[in-house]
Amino acid sequence: MKEENQPTTAKSGGIGRRICYAVGNFGQSAFYNALSTYFVVYVTSTMFAGVDKALATKLIGIITGLIVAIRIGEIFIDPLLGNLIDNTTTKFGRFRPWQVIGGCTSAVLLALVYTGLFGLVNVSETWFIILFVVVFIVLDVFYSLRDISYWGMIPALSEDSHERSVYTALGSFTGSIGYNGITVVVIPIVTYFSYVFTGSHTESQSGWTAFGVIVALLGILTALTVAFGTKENESALRSKAQENGNPLQAFGALAHNDQLLWVALSYLLYAIANVATTGVLLYLFKFVLGQPAAFSIAGVIPIITGLIAAPLYPILNRYIPRRYLYLAGMVFMIAGYVMFIIGAQSLTLVIVALVLFYIPSTFIQMTAILSLTDSIEYGQLKTGRRNEAVTLSVRPMLDKIAGAFSNGIVGFIAVAAGMVGTATADDMTAANIRTFKMFAFYTPLALIVASLLVFMFTVKIDEKMHAKIVEELEAKLASGEIKSEDAQDADVVEENATETADASGVAAGAGTAAGSASAK
């Protein structure tokens, strides 16, 4: 590879750029947890506290059902949002403007929904539902713009698989702290501000509103940090790539990227299982164990494991191909689910299960993100079209699908198992506990097994295969075989990509895949 074709990496931007990028996911992940998990907890426990119990149960079902429907419906919008970002041209770059627009707008709307739309339900149920649908859709769209532009920025910062893993590790590191930190502080924040405004230590509307405002402010500050603290680089692959095309061409590019689709399927199965379980952990401590005060453990454990796993990933990946880190992580999760099933009513066994459950999550998520990122060049070689944000909109789209299932599962369990309102652990029956276990542990366990099998037998893209693809792409771009104006000879390009995949698959099967991600 000639020197002039070497990509510009984040190294030229110094440690400051990496820190600013990492800070972004701290607030973004905290925001996501507040939106996807604890908003439904707020809905089922406090939003309708002043409403008749029968009506409250009805409204809980309606709102959680609407959330699921909205989030599933919007998964088809994410690739369109990615295409919008891909076709953005400003002096500030392609991705950074959307950090400001998406981050600030979604933060304001999050604070709004945590006020219960200022108690509108007590004035008019119909107008409350109508306004809620509008606000939640807009909130979800602008959050997606922030999320897609954040992860879509990685290939704009570097085209080197090793360097990308450094950014991914940093983002995952801070994301783990932000996401799980919310689990640690949510009850203390809600309880404290409830006491400040009502004089009672029980959860109240004022406590949840304060929680929403705090998360919103954090979201704004961290989005601005990314927007003003990073800079997108240009490289031969980016500057010579074709125009990103219209939405139909973007969807076509995704459909022809088989490695993207297989990675996406495996990650989707994992993500649904993951959020289905984490979404009901509060209920596990409150209604099954009868120890809600110990719930902060469920946040401390993933923070500690994330602090260890994120910086450890690039080190291990020097010697162990990332596909094996992914598969090993799945085995750990299976063991964790087994422990949950047999020890759900023992705090000690639950702690052990939480450790097994959370240890591999960083490895699994980072491998999925890196595989999706590397599939950008794979898709460019196959189709002649480079779609950075569209390709990386797939992961937020999958998280949104998983979040929708999580919202539905949490709402369903809360109602079906009687875990609503003022209910306590003493009110739980054996049937309630069985219902909880079925949806919190047994079903997710089956999904994890399916995810493992999909990744093991269908995903071929790895570090070695990606390096070959980049080398071949640069050679074709330099020779003019791939032109920026059109994607001629697409069949020939696809054949070359297939040959590369076959060769890399044989190499990976022989155990010769090289480690990646030097932690510089």
Residue 327 predicted with pLDDT over 90: yes
Look at residues 197, 237, 210, 187 and name the one whose alpha carbon lies nearest to residue 41: 187
The answer to whether residues 267 and 399 touch, using CB atoms and an 8 Å cutoff, is no
160 or 156, which is more confident: 156
What are 175-232's pLDDT values in tens digits?
Answer: 888 988 898 899 899 999 999 888 887 888 899 999 999 999 999 999 999 999 888 8
What are 271-305's pLDDT values in tens digits?
Answer: 999 988 988 898 899 888 888 888 888 888 988 88
What are 56-113's pLDDT values in tens digits?
Answer: 888 888 888 888 888 778 777 877 888 888 788 888 888 889 999 999 999 999 999 9
C-alpha 490: how far from chain center: 33
Q: What is the pLDDT of residue 494?
A: 47
Residue 240 predicted with pLDDT over 70: no
Q: What is the pLDDT of residue 253?
A: 64
The answer to whether residues 242 and 485 touch, using CB atoms and an 8 Å cutoff, is yes
How far lies 308's CA from each of 18, 34, 182, 322, 513, in Å? 19, 24, 19, 17, 25
The answer to whether residues 82 and 389 touch, using CB atoms and an 8 Å cutoff, is yes
Burial class (CB in 10 A: 0-12, 13-18, 19+), 314: buried
**Rg, Å, the chain Cα set:** 23
Domain parsing of the chain, residue ranges: 16-506
Rounded Cα distance between 396 and 107, Å, is 17
Q: For residue 447, which amino acid is it?
A: L
**How much is the mean pLDDT over the chain?**
81
Q: How many CB atoms lie within 10 A of CB 297?
A: 17
C-alpha 122: how far from chain center: 34
Query: Taking the complete model, does pTM exceed 0.95, yes or no?
Result: no
Element (H, E) at 458: helix 443-458
Q: Which of 253-257, 366-370, 455-459 has the lowest mean pLDDT?
A: 253-257
What is the distance in angstroms between the CA of the first residue and the CA of the last residue of the chain?
Answer: 22
Superfamily of domain 16-506: MFS general substrate transporter like domains (1.20.1250.20)
What are 455-478's pLDDT values in tens digits?
Answer: 999 988 888 888 888 888 878 777
Q: What is the pLDDT of residue 483?
A: 56
Rounded Cα distance between 265 and 77, Å, is 18
Task: Tell me what the mean pLDDT of segment 379-393 comes to.
Answer: 74
